[in-house]
Every structure is written in C-alpha cells, then in structure tokens.
Amino acid sequence: MNPEMQGTAGIVARSPARKRRPRPFLRMAVMLILLGLLAAGFVAFQNFKAGIIRQVIHTITSQMPTVSTAAAQMSPWQATLSATGTLRASRGADLAPEVAGIVDAIRFNSGEDVAAGTLLLRLRPNDDDAKLAQLAAAADLAEVTYQRDLKQLRVQGVAQAVVDSDAANLRAARAQVDAQKAVMDEKLVRAPFAGRLGIRQVDLGQYLPAGTTVVTLQALDPIFVDFYLPQSALAALAVGAPVEVGVDGYPGRRFTGTLTAINARIDPASRMIQVRATLANPDKALLPGMFATATVTVGAPQPQVTIPLAAVSYNPYGAVVYVVRDEGAGADGKPKRIARQQFVTTGATRGDQVAILKGLAAGDVVVTAGQLKLRNNEAVLINNAVQPTDEANPSPPDE
C-alpha cells in the first residue's frame, strides 16, 4: 500500500476515539434556567390573577349606588291643625247716604285713616236749613206761650187746660225740630268707627240714589281670620289656642294670634266647622280679603320618631323608606352596607320633617337621597357631603 494512503487511513481510523461527551455542569445550568423561567411565569400568573381580582372588586364597588343617609330621631312633636281661610276686618262697612241727593262736599281722601265720627260726605241741603229755622221759630213761640200761660195759671188767669195744651204744643214743636235735624243728618255720611278708608267711589256734584256706596271703611287692628276645620277636630279645639297665619303677600313671615271663636253649628253640607282667630295687626300689613293659611296648636307636645320628608317614597302600596344596615366587611375590607325597603306609617308633617308612627325606631339610618336608583337588599356607598333640609320651621333664604 502507498505510504500516503496508509497515513490517511490511520487518521480516519482514529477519529471516533476523539468525540467528547457533554459535561455535567452544563446540564445543571440548563435545568436551573428552566426552573427560573417556570418560577417567573408562576409569579407573573399570580400577579395577573391578583390584578384581575382587584379589577373585579373595583368594578363591583364602582357600580354600587351612592346615597346620603340620616338617622331617625326622637323629637318633641306639637300636634297642629292646618287650614286655609280668609282675612276679614274686625269692623268693616260700606258707607252710603240714607237718602238720595247730589254730592255737595267731599271731606276725605282715598286710603287715609280717620277717627270715629269724622264727616266724610255731605249731600246738597236744598231748603233744609230754612225748614229747620221755621220749625225752630215755631218751637220758640210755643215756649214763650207756655211760659206766659204758666205764669197766668199761678194767679188763676187761665185754666189748667190751656197750660196743658201749651205744653203739648211745645213738645210737638220741639219734636218737629228734632225730626228736621234727623232729615238733615241723613244727608251727611260720617265714619261710624275709626279705621282706614278705601278708594272713593263718587265725585262732587254726582246724584246719588239712597244706599249708593261712597267708600269702604275697615278697622284693621286687630284683624280676624276665618277658616274651616273638619268636625273630627272639634274635640281638640279650644278658645285661646295659639294660631299662626301666613299669607302669600309676605312669604316667610308668620303672624301670631289666638283662637277666639268656634261656630255653634256644623255645616251640614261639608261637615266642617267654622272657627275664627284674632291677630294683632299694628303695622296694617294684613288686609281684609287676603287668602291665608292658618295653623292651630292643639294639646301638649308628644315625643315622635322623625325623619326628613325626603326619605319617604309614596306609592299605591303605602309609604316606603330604605333602611341601611351594616353587614360586616366586604371583600375589600371596607364596611358593607345594605339598603332594605321598609314600609312605614307616617303621621303629620312640619316643615321638612315627617313623623313616623310605625315602622322605624330612633337611631335607624334611612336613605335621604338616591332612592330612585336603589333595589331592595342592595349594597350601597354612603356620601353625606350633601344632605336635604331637615328643619321643623324652615324659612326661605334671603335674596
């Protein structure tokens, strides 16, 4: 064999003997890398899972309706009766002449206050003064005749019958004078009492038939308010009970007075009883004919459970409130609050409050705003930053 070929064959024959096996530390490194990747994936999965849970909790929490709440309170409650009525003057009259005639003088201005007996209007007297003078002269003559005959009687100069006739003539003459003065007074219109005049209805020189209204006169202090209450309230009414009155002309202002009269009969058509209250009116702010709302205080104050009127929802089945109860802690560790429907029996209202006769106890927390978006037994979030008014005697804000 060729020596070159032998050398090549020897090299080929020795090649399998030079192949190296994998070292043990490489296999260990690969396993550690795989384990690290597996652990990292597990941690990432756990973080992903926790993020999903937090997102779900946040979503659930953000979908909870937010409401405002208030606690029911035990408050002294004064029973009242309310009604609408009409103001009327303590004394009022439409002034008119008793006889017909032409207006000769007007002695007043519209809207002024006058004293009792003030002359307001005079009709033309015509010949009244002349008739009065004629009758007065006849009365004077009768007086002279009577006195002369009386002296004659003392000396037996005339008979007693003559003196008696003279006395009768004198009385008749004086009566005629008084009658003429009465006729003349009928042409004068005077204020029968002190008060405020209305607007003049006649003019100078105008012919007035008898009974034509010249002006109205109203006594404004004190002033009455008449209103009606149901017959069921009769037992609670008493003369002297406090009364508060409000009118549209003075919003927010309350006028105080007392109950002064209860009608002696019930109206058979309406089964209502008429009552009257008297109010002081020194500034003449109240006028007859005004529409008024009257509130009568009856009995002594009684304790009642009260809540804001806004907390009550009325429907055909009755009055409903949402009562908020604590149900421990939620998944996020925060307190869990559940709103449950509760039927209640409501009583009277005062201002922004309503009395609860049945269904709630003092301290129960009720929803005051946000009821429209609630369902029964639903979890809620509470935000009391804004609260509805809860005043027993609210007053409008000053503008």
Confidence at residue 323, expressed as pLDDT on a 0 to 100 scale: 92
Residue keyed to tokens 């307001």:
120
> Is 2.40.420.20 the CATH classification of the domain at 64-77+302-382?
yes
Per-residue b/e over 110-147, b at no fewer than 16 CB within 10 Å? eeeebeeebebbbbebeebeebbeebbebbeebeebbe
| Domain 82-88+220-297: CATH class, spelled out | mainly beta
- Domain coordinates of the chain in residue numbers? 64-77+302-382, 82-88+220-297, 92-208
Confidence at residue 8, expressed as pLDDT on a 0 to 100 scale: 46
Confidence at residue 57, expressed as pLDDT on a 0 to 100 scale: 56
Confidence at residue 20, expressed as pLDDT on a 0 to 100 scale: 55
Confidence at residue 318, expressed as pLDDT on a 0 to 100 scale: 86
Confidence at residue 9, expressed as pLDDT on a 0 to 100 scale: 45
Distance CA 159, CA 150 (A): 10
Helical packing angle, 160-185 and 128-154, nearest 10°: 160
Confidence at residue 5, expressed as pLDDT on a 0 to 100 scale: 47
DSSP annotation of 78 reads -
Mean pLDDT in runs of 10 for the chain (399 residues)? 47 49 69 78 74 60 77 84 90 91 91 92 88 89 85 80 86 90 88 92 91 92 92 88 90 90 91 93 90 87 87 87 81 75 87 87 88 83 78 58
